[in-house]
Structure 1
Amino acid sequence: MKLQSLVLAAATALTMTTAFAVPAGTWSIAAGAHYVDPKSDNGTLDIGLSVDVDGDIQPTISGEYFIANNVGVELLAALPFHHDFDLNNADGTQVLTGKTQHLPPTLSVQYHFDSDNMPMNIKPFVGVGVNYTTFFKERISTGGDLDLDDSVGVAGHVGLDIPFAPTEAFRIDARYMDIKTDATLDGSDIGEIDISPWVYGVAFVKQF
């Protein structure tokens, strides 16, 4: 349903009357904050415990270069996100706890729309790309050696830029990231953790 929502948003944007708004060769920088909201069911490990991963918010920055009119290539970076997680019995009783940090750099190709009919000259955009997530500082309450593998997956992006100056805007956006990691405890594979979050954010955007 999440990917269907992104496709629907893209299709809606494509129906708008558009005009070239951002010329090729333009750079933009967006600085703000994003909240990583993991999916509600994060999987069941081979040790018979279900996983519940919480969310986190951190400062983010992205740079985008427009390779053609209204078509940009964007790289998203952030400070490390911190996640606590619970390992629960089938009845929901907490058995173990843990924590990890991760960095989720994401590279996307994006199309920015410009509609004369939009209020406040709002400019929607859509994008698709690839997310690479690396995990570190994994901890588990047993004191064992927990390791989470890096993840590579598809990412989708939708958002709105609300201009308040010729080269400046306020951005509201949402991303879907396919993040799945194989977990190892004390050298033994214990299954997959499916985080696959929605990532919600706001940012200040400056074009150059």
Structure 2
Amino acid sequence: MKTRITALSTALALGAVAMVPAAASAQEAGDIQIRAFVTGVLPSDGEITDVRVDNIGVPAGSQTTVSDSVVPTIAAEYFVADNFSIETICCITPHDVNGAGALAGADIIDDAIVLPATVTAKYHFDLGGIKPYIGAGPAYFFIFSEDVGAGAAGLGITGADLSDEFGVALQAGADIDLNDSGLMFSVDAKKYFIDTTATFTDNTGILLQTEHQLDPWVVSAGLGFRF
């Protein structure tokens, strides 16, 4: 899925470049941009990096993976100075945690929902009709609605929780003007650096607690408007 989304974003960007008009609007202090994206959320393997508690004897070689997700997203930004903006995004993204290695084929957590609250400071380079940018900022992942998968239930687990966590996001992309009235085509990529703690319980307490590396790529393409 990662390859397909990257290829699609590249093809759309190349097609939009061909439509860039000679006239292009500048990015000035006080401007607002709203962009609507199709977004691929592509976690790293979601691997176990540490086992804090193991009261159920998880087999040696046990690992986990986190599923990819494709969702609609909205990005809104305000230009606090010429070519310098503050952006936030709005989306929720569902993911499953599945077993790998000795746990291959096991459903561990179903339908965990992630709300990746993110604020980035961005600098925009004005190349006329094409405006690349770079950015960075803090992120906080709210994770909720975790359901115990069948594989975890088979180990006696009745409750699952993925911890909310702070992290950081790096960002790069480009806005490509489609006319001189503010309409644009945009491509965007963010790399998050963030982990989570998975806690599995039954009615007696904690059965298993593990640390997981998420570090997702978030790759987007869509249309926007500057006003």
How does the TM-score come out when normalised to structure 2? 0.75
1:45, 1:51 within 8 Å by CA — same for their partners in 2? Answer: no
Alignment of 1:1-208 (within 5 A): 21-40=26-45, 42-44=47-49, 46=51, 47=58, 48=60, 49-78=62-91, 80-90=92-102, 93-99=104-110, 100-116=112-128, 121-140=129-148, 141=150, 142=153, 144-166=158-180, 167-186=182-201, 187-188=205-206, 190-208=209-227
Q: CA deviation at 1:44?
A: 4.7
1:165 partner SS: coil
Is contact 2:45-2:64 (8 Å) kept?
no
1:96 and 1:179 map into 2 onto residues whose CA distance is 23
Aligned-partner SS, 1:24: coil
Question: Structure with the greater relative contact order (CA < 8 A, sep ≥ 6): 1 or 2?
Answer: 2
**1:5 paired residue number:** none
Amino acid of the structure 1 residue aligned with 2:99: L
Larger radius of gyration: 2
Measured after TM superposition, the shift of residue 93 of structure 1 is: 3.0
- Distance across 2 between alignment mates of 1:44 and 1:108: 28
Q: Which amino acid aligns with 2:36?
A: A
Q: Contact 1:171/1:202 (CA < 8 Å) preserved in 2?
A: yes
Q: Measure, in 1, the Cα distance between the counterparts of 2:176 and 2:101.
A: 46
Alpha-carbon distance in 2 for matches of 1:45, 1:145 = 20
Counterpart of 1:11 in structure 2 is none
Specify the code of the residue in structure 2 equivalent to 1:29.
I
Is the 1:88–1:96 contact (alpha carbons within 8 Å) kept by the matching residues of 2? no
Q: Give unmatched runs, 5+ long, in structure 2.
A: 1-24, 52-57
Give deviations 1:97-140, integer Å, cap 9, x for gaps: 32211111210000010125xxxx21100000111111111122
d(CA) in 2 for partners of 1:144, 1:193: 20
Q: Alignment partner of 2:158: what SS? A: coil
What is the identity, as a one-letter code, of the residue corresponding to 2:190? R
Secondary structure class of the residue paired with 1:115: coil
Q: Map Cα deviations across residues 145-197 of structure 1 (whole Å, 9 max, x no partner).
A: 00111011010110011111121100011100112111111142511121111
Counting matched residue pairs gives 183
